[in-house]
C-alpha cells in the first residue's frame, strides 16, 4: 500500500507539473501583487489629493517656547517625532498658519509639550490672497470711500461680498487691458519697428498709425492705473492671533471662508469651490497657489496635436508594411527597428526633437519666413508644435504595431470576397479592411495619446515651461500660436515636487495635480474601450 501511495502521489505531482498548475498560481500571485501595488499608489494619491481640498477647522494655540509665549492660529497638517540634540524624542505637529508676509513661512513645527492651551474662535477667517498665500485673521472692519463697516455690524457680510466682487471685477478689467488690448498694440508697434529696421519705406499713414497706437497705449496705462488706485481705496482690516493689525486691499482678496462657523454642507460647498478654482484658475505664488488651468489646457492641446501627426503616418506605415511591402529581410529589419524605437528612452527623443525640429526645421523657417525678426527666434525656439512632433515620433511605434495587428486580424475571406466582387486592392483596403480594423487602430491611437499625455522628459527640452501666461490657443489673431511655449501637468508635478521654493506649501498641489493627471489618463483609456466596443459591434465581420 505504501508503494502504491507513493506511485499515485508521484503520478499526481507529474500531472500537475505537466498541466503547469504551479506556474499558474505563481503567475496569479505576481498579477495580484502588481495590481495591489498599483491600487495602493492610486489610493494614496486619491486620499492625499482629495483631502487637500477639504476645509479644516482652525485652532488658536498658545505656545510657550524658550520663555516666549505666542498665539498661533492654524490647522494641523501632520504629526512627526523628532530627536533633539540630547537624543530625546519629541512629538511635534506641523501647523499651517499662513500669513507668509508676516511670518516668512506658512508652516511651522511645534512641540506638543509646549502647547499650553487650544481654542477654536468662531470669528477666525481664512482669506485667500493673490500674493503671499492664505491668511488667518480676525476681522475688524471694511473701509471703503462710502464709509467704514465694523465686523459686528449687520452689514458686514454684505460689505465683504461687495469688496470681493469689486476685486474680482477689477482683476478681469486689468486682465483685459494689460494682456489683450495692450498686447495687441504692442504687437502692432513691434511690427512697425521691424519694418523701420528693415529700411522699408514708412508712409505718412504708417507714422500716424504709430502715434495713434502710442496714444492708445498710454490711455490704457492710465485706465489700469485708475483701476488700481480705486482698489487701493477699499481695504479689509483685521488682526492676527497675536493681535497684530493688518490691512488687505480689495485687489489682493480672492475668497474668504469662515472655517469654524461652517457646517458640513458649507464645508462641502467650499470643497467644490476649491476644486473648481483649482481646475479653472491660473497658478500664482510660484505655482503653489491658484489653479492649473494652463497646464490642463496645454496637456490636452499638445496631445490632440500630437495625435493629428501620429495617426496618418502610423496608419499609412502599417498599411504599407502589412499590405504592400514584400515580406522579406528588409521588412523584418524595419519591424525590428520599429519595436526597438518603442524601447528607446524618451529623453533621447527630446534631444532629437531639440536638434532636428527646433534648431534645424525651426531655424530654417525663421530664416525663410521671419528674417525680419532675427536674431529673435520665432519658430527656432522650443514650442508646442515641436513638442507635439517629438511626442508623435515617440508614440509612432505604438500606432504602427497596433494598426498592423488590427489589419492582420481581419479575416482573409473578407478580403477575398471584396476582390471577387471586382474591387481593387486599395478599394478593398479602404472600404473593407480599414473599417473592420478601425476599433483596433483607434485603440492604439488613444493608447498612444495616453502615453504622450504622461511624458515629461522630452518636453523639458522642446517647449514646456514653469509658467506660460499666454495660451497657444486664444481669441487674439491669428488665434492659433504653435510657436508658443506651454505648461504641462506632468512637468507641473515635477516642478512643484523638486523645484518649488516652498516645498511644504507645494505638497497638496503635487498630490492634487497627480490625481488630475491620473484621471485624464484613465479617462482616455475608458474612452478607448467604449469607442472600441461600439465600433466592434458596428463593423463586426465573420470568418468564411
Which tens digits make up the pLDDT trace of 452-505? 888 888 888 898 888 887 788 777 767 788 888 888 888 888 888 787 777 777
Q: What is the pTM of this model?
A: 0.83
Q: CA 25: distance to chain centroid?
A: 40
Q: Is the pLDDT of residue 93 over 50?
A: yes
Q: What is the pLDDT of residue 19?
A: 57
Alpha-carbon distances, residue 519 vs 17, 228, 512, 516 (angstroms): 43, 40, 11, 5
Averaged pLDDT for residues 25-52: 85
Does the pLDDT at position 27 exceed 80? yes
Query: Is the model more confident about 504 or about 428?
Result: 428
The pairing of strands 59-65 and 115-119 is antiparallel
Which of 67-81, 131-145, 461-475 has maximum average pLDDT?
131-145
Confidence of residue 356 (pLDDT cuts 50, 70, 90): very high
State percent of the chain over pLDDT 70: 91
SS3 of 262-274: the string is CCHHHHHHHHHHH
> What is the rounded distance in angstroms from the CA atom of residue 172 to the CA atom of residue 204?
37
Sort strands 289-290 and 283-284 into parallel, antiparallel or unpaired.
antiparallel
Q: pLDDT, tens digit, for every residue of 324-352? A: 888 778 888 888 888 788 788 888 989 99
Burial 304-324 (b: 16+ CB within 10 A, else e): ebbbebbbeebbebbbebbbe
Q: How many angstroms separate the CA atoms of 178 and 336, rounded?
A: 54
- 218 pLDDT band, cuts 50/70/90, is confident
Task: Judge whether residue 91 has pLDDT over 70.
Answer: yes
Q: Is the pLDDT of residue 369 over 50?
A: yes
* Mean pLDDT of the region 143-154: 86
Residue indicated by cell numbers 464645508: 267
* CB contact at 8 A, 447 and 306: no
Q: What is the dihedral of CA 541, 542, 543, 544, to 10 degrees?
A: -110
Task: Find cell 532629437 and name the residue.
Answer: 352
Alpha carbons 400 and 380: distance in angstroms, whole number: 30
Give 283-339 as a 3 state SS string: EECCCCEECCHHHHHHHHHHHHHHHHHHHHHHHHHHHHHHHHCCCCHHHHHHHHHHH
Choice among 17-31, 55-69, 434-448 with the minimum mean pLDDT: 17-31
pLDDT by residue (tens digit) across 240-266? 888 888 888 888 888 899 888 888 899
Question: 67 Cβ partners below 8 Å, 6+ apart?
Answer: none
List pLDDT tens digits, range 387-405. 999 999 999 988 898 888 8
Burial of 145 by CB count in 10 Å (0-12 exposed, 13-18 middle, 19+ buried)?
Answer: exposed
Range with lowest mean pLDDT among 82-86, 298-302, 422-426: 82-86
For residue 64, the cross-strand partners are 69
pLDDT band, very low/low/confident/very high, at 542 (cuts 50, 70, 90): very low
Cell 490632440 locates to 304
CB count in 10 Å sphere of residue 432: 20
As a whole number, mean pLDDT of residues 170-198 equals: 79
Weakest-pLDDT range from 103-117, 147-161, 257-271, 530-544? 530-544
Say whether pLDDT at 173 is over 50.
yes
Say what the pLDDT of residue 196 is.
66
Give the model's pLDDT for residue 391.
Answer: 92
| Rounded Cα gap, residues 506 and 288, in angstroms | 5
Q: What is the dihedral of CA 531, 536, 538, 542, to 10 degrees?
A: 170
Place of cell 476582390: 419
- In order of 358, 442, 532, the CA distances from 451 in angstroms are 22, 14, 18
Residue whose cell numbers read 501632520: 78
Q: What is the pLDDT of residue 389?
A: 92
Question: Please, what is the average pLDDT of the chain?
Answer: 82
Other residues' Cβ atoms within 10 Å of the Cβ of residue 178: 14
- Report DSSP letters for 390-420, one per residue: HHHHHHHHHHHHHHHHHHHTS-HHHHHHHHH
Q: What is the pLDDT of residue 205?
A: 63
Going by their DSSP bridges, the two strands 253-257 and 125-129 should be labelled as antiparallel
CB count in 10 Å sphere of residue 82: 11
Half-sphere exposure of 396 (CA within 13 A, CB side): 22
**Of 309-318, 357-366, 428-437, minimum mean pLDDT range:** 428-437
- State mean pLDDT over 42-50: 84
User: Is it the case that residue 18 has pLDDT exceeding 60?
Assistant: no
Amino acid at each position: 500500500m505504501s508503494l502504491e501511495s507513493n506511485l499515485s502521489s508521484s503520478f499526481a505531482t507529474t500531472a500537475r507539473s505537466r498541466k503547469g498548475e504551479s506556474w499558474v498560481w505563481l503567475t496569479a500571485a505576481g498579477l495580484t501583487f502588481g495590481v495591489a501595488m498599483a491600487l495602493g499608489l492610486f489610493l494614496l494619491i486619491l486620499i492625499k489629493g482629495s483631502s487637500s481640498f477639504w476645509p479644516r477647522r482652525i485652532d488658536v494655540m498658545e505656545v510657550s517656547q524658550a520663555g516666549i509665549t505666542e498665539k498661533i492660529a492654524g490647522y494641523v497638517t501632520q504629526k512627526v517625532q523628532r530627536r533633539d540634540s540630547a537624543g530625546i524624542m519629541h512629538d511635534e505637529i506641523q501647523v499651517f498658519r499662513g500669513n507668509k508676509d508676516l511670518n516668512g513661512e506658512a508652516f511651522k513645527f511645534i512641540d506638543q509639550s509646549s502647547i499650553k492651551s487650544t481654542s477654536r474662535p468662531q470669528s477666525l477667517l481664512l482669506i485667500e490672497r493673490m500674493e503671499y498665500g492664505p491668511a488667518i485673521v480676525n476681522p475688524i472692519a471694511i473701509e471703503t470711500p462710502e464709509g467704514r463697516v465694523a465686523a459686528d455690524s449687520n452689514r458686514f457680510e454684505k460689505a465683504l461680498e461687495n469688496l470681493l466682487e469689486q476685486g474680482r471685477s477689477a482683476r478681469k478689467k486689468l486682465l483685459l487691458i494689460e494682456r489683450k488690448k495692450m498686447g495687441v498694440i504692442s504687437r502692432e508697434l513691434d511690427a512697425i519697428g521691424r519694418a523701420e529696421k528693415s529700411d522699408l519705406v514708412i508712409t505718412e499713414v504708417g507714422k500716424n498709425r504709430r502715434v495713434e497706437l502710442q496714444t492708445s497705449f498710454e490711455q490704457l496705462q492710465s485706465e489700469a492705473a485708475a483701476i488700481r488706485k480705486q482698489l487701493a481705496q477699499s481695504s479689509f482690516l483685521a488682526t492676527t492671533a497675536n493681535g497684530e493689525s493688518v490691512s488687505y486691499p480689495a485687489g489682493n482678496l480672492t475668497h474668504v471662508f469662515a472655517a469654524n462657523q461652517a457646517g458640513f454642507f458649507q464645508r462641502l460647498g467650499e470643497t467644490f469651490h476649491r476644486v473648481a478654482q483649482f481646475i479653472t484658475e491660473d497658478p500664482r505664488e510660484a505655482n503653489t497657489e491658484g489653479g492649473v488651468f494652463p497646464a490642463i489646457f496645454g496637456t490636452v492641446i499638445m496631445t490632440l496635436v500630437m495625435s493629428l501627426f501620429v495617426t496618418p503616418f502610423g496608419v499609412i506605415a502599417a498599411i504599407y508594411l502589412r499590405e504592400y511591402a514584400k515580406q522579406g529581410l528588409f521588412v523584418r529589419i524595419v519591424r525590428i527597428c520599429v519595436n526597438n524605437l518603442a524601447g528607446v528612452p524618451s529623453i533621447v527623443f527630446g534631444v532629437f526633437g531639440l536638434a532636428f525640429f527646433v534648431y534645424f526645421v525651426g531655424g530654417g523657417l525663421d530664416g525663410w519666413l521671419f528674417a525680419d525678426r532675427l536674431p529673435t527666434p520665432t519658430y527656432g525656439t522650443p514650442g508646442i508644435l515641436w513638442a507635439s512632433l517629438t511626442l508623435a515620433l515617440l508614440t509612432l511605434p505604438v500606432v504602427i504595431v497596433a494598426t498592423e495587428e488590427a489589419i492582420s486580424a481581419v479575416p482573409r475571406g473578407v478580403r477575398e470576397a471584396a476582390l471577387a466582387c471586382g474591387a481593387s486592392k486599395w478599394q478593398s483596403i479602404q472600404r473593407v479592411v480599414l473599417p473592420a480594423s478601425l476599433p483596433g487602430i483607434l485603440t492604439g491611437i488613444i493608447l498612444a495619446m495616453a502615453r504622450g499625455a504622461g511624458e515629461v522628459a522630452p518636453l523639458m527640452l522642446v517647449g514646456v515651461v514653469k509658467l506660460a501666461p499666454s495660451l497657444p490657443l486664444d481669441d487674439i489673431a491669428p488665434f492659433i500660436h504653435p510657436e508658443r511655449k506651454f505648461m504641462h501637468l506632468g512637468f507641473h508635478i515635477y516642478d512643484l515636487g523638486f523645484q518649488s521654493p516652498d516645498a511644504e506649501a507645494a505638497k497638496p498641489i503635487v498630490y492634487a495635480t497627480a490625481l488630475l493627471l491620473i484621471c485624464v489618463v484613465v479617462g482616455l483609456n475608458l474612452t478607448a474601450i467604449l469607442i472600441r466596443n461600439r465600433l466592434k459591434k458596428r463593423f463586426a465581420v465573420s470568418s468564411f
